[in-house]
Structure 1
């Protein structure tokens, strides 16, 4: 229950509103941060891959250069002829030729600074000549891995990087060198072919890729045919034990491949700071939103609490309730409005309500207060005795019916009668009018279910009086007065219709306009027209509105020279429905 109350509280709604306002800003900030980082990542990848491919082209160009150099030497007839058809190149008979080959190889190494050593191995004896050592003895060269590769290459260039994993240990080859080997005479059918080898120092290759080294924490690996060649900074990544935070980019070209490794924390150091700054701003914004929501809630809660307490006091009957404040804002205006409303309500209840109640009661018994019943009864009885004594039967009948009508209508004690009793009492008055004019008839049709329904007394008399005086008496040919009733949709309908002269349209519009101003809240007769104009109909509508409520109504319909009908609509109570 407490949780539901908090969810429906103004403070929670205000806080949620402020957070929802921040949500798009936070989302855009996070998205922009991540998007910029992804763009930066893509740009770094593209630029790095471009640099790696360019570097690979240089390395590959070096390999192509070695391929051309070895090819030129292997096709040099002066060198090939010296090495063909000899058993041992180090024998005294071949010293001059061997010296000539050494000079030519030395010239090659002097021209191409990347070549540190060049040597030729005689496959039969394992002896040879080197630019560094002169004579070369290598009896087990045929067992070397690189030698077998060169023999099996059918004259193609073989690149060999001595490592413990590839080819095993070598008696002569140095792990700091990259060796490019080729058969000396590709067209020779010798069983033990001669092999030309050019050795390039790894430092030369390292210089090619060294320009990519832009950080002390960066490492660049070079491999040939998936075999390791060299790396620029092996301790930068593996020594720090931060392999999970390493960005690795690898490119391949022909048999060469190059891979760049760098910690992400270093690469995105600036963007990481920007991201932290963004998250800090988001956190501060959320704290500010909650704090501002609390301040706004306090500013709203205090005046609302005062208003709520004042309303409770006023609804509890404390009509003198007033809110004391010094506010100049809209809440102050609302509190001032409440104070004025409370004062107005107090005056209305204490003054106007009592007056209206007394006025309603006096109007409700208007007809009863206009005549002294006892004086009227005694006078009518005296007139009746004189008329009966002098045998004037019309006068005596009129008087006795009139006396009966007033005795019931003006009698104290009962305010309502059944519809059947009301019509019986009304017939006393109608009979008086018939004796007086004697040129209209009466037809009464009451639904059986309506006869026992209680209605206000003197409700139909003003309507019938209007029908006789303003309708039937003005018709030279007489007419007919019809009174009927029926039930429909929980309402009692009473119709009083005459076949008189009817009401002209202009007068009918004015009558309806006057009647439309009467409601259950404005039940007093309107003073916009003379008091005696439509007094009977206004009195009837005012009384039914006051007694039965807003659903009760009185309607008038008329056709000139044909008829006028008055319909009284009365809602039924639960016990009458």
Structure 2
């Protein structure tokens, strides 16, 4: 979540004001930089496209020359007539004629230095003649893809570019090289041979590379030539820098030929890159200066105000020990010293009042606790006296032993509290005395396991149990049950003491609860009116738990006349007791 106080702080406002002045200037500079770079990119792209199109014109011109030369050879009667009507051009009967054809091919191809080799292949036998290899035996030539294309072209020129693709049927042919581009045409489209004869001109790819090499102005440029979108050659296949960076790439097409140029953008825009870095540097320095100036102003004016504001918030939240530490000797230092003096005086006054209240509360607490033991002692002695009149010595002995144990635990060696489990064991000494006196009720103690180790104030359950036995169970002629239960709920320990005695009338129950509601953490002993002696034990317990546990502690009484009475203690758990 956003801290609203920080959003509206003086430092934030100062920084935003400086940034509002600088950011438009920085934005304009960055926009101008990107705009100039886009113009330069467009201009470079246009010039590059023009150069690539000019190169494709040379490539296309070379193809046209091959078209004219193949047409010239394919229509030469001196060559066409020799290949008419023969079954095998490599038979001894035709060696002289074939040699003559080879010489004529050599003479014709020497005119164009780009042509490295020329073939004439006999369609029926697959045999033929080459300007470099002499006789050629190519029995499977009719199955070649380029041969089928040439037949389908019916005298048109076919351009074949071998590739490294293993699926290409010519990939491993002895007469086909990946370094060549082959121009193929039927020797005589009007011949009546069983199988048409074809002629092939092989042009070295280096001739094309020389044409496009003029565009290679850097070692990091790679130019790729395509024919019908198929790869032909590239000028710089081993340049890793192009692929490692985002390349500047342009591709243009002209008919069946296309060419692509790739170059690292960092190299293309090297000149504008320096200007771009300079713009970013100026922008960064401007923003840093804005923050620095805002900090200087804040440190001189806003920071002491923030210190004072923070000190006031802490003091109002209850941190009475807060103090503004500074070394200033100006007006802010005077105000900070005044705050420190005011906080010290207020702290001393509050501490004095708190100590008075604490002493008073301790005195009341000791008074209330001291009133419990005599009250209990009188009732217990009365019980022993009653038993002495009606029973013999063993019962009195048993009562005296349990009574002695009860007082021994009550002293507690100076302890103010016992665990709930210890308190229950302590109560059993008293309950045993009462059971000997009036043996017609049963005790059931059910403490949840997680509540047994929780410490509670001593002698807060004994008056409640005493009331349950004397005012509830003893008056019930049919006997009954005394239940003591515990549980943890909503961060508090609940202890219930319930008897199945005679119960309490509605009017009396309303009076009890009314008296309990009068008792707050200001203790009814502080009241100017003399405390009522009614319900003395319950009021003592309520006052003690209110003083000890605070205003959240409570004692409530529930009853059904003629059936049962339940007293519920609610004791808030402290952090070290919350399990």
Larger radius of gyration between Structure 1 and Structure 2:
1
Normalised by the length of structure 1, the TM-score is 0.49
Normalised by the length of structure 2, the TM-score is 0.49
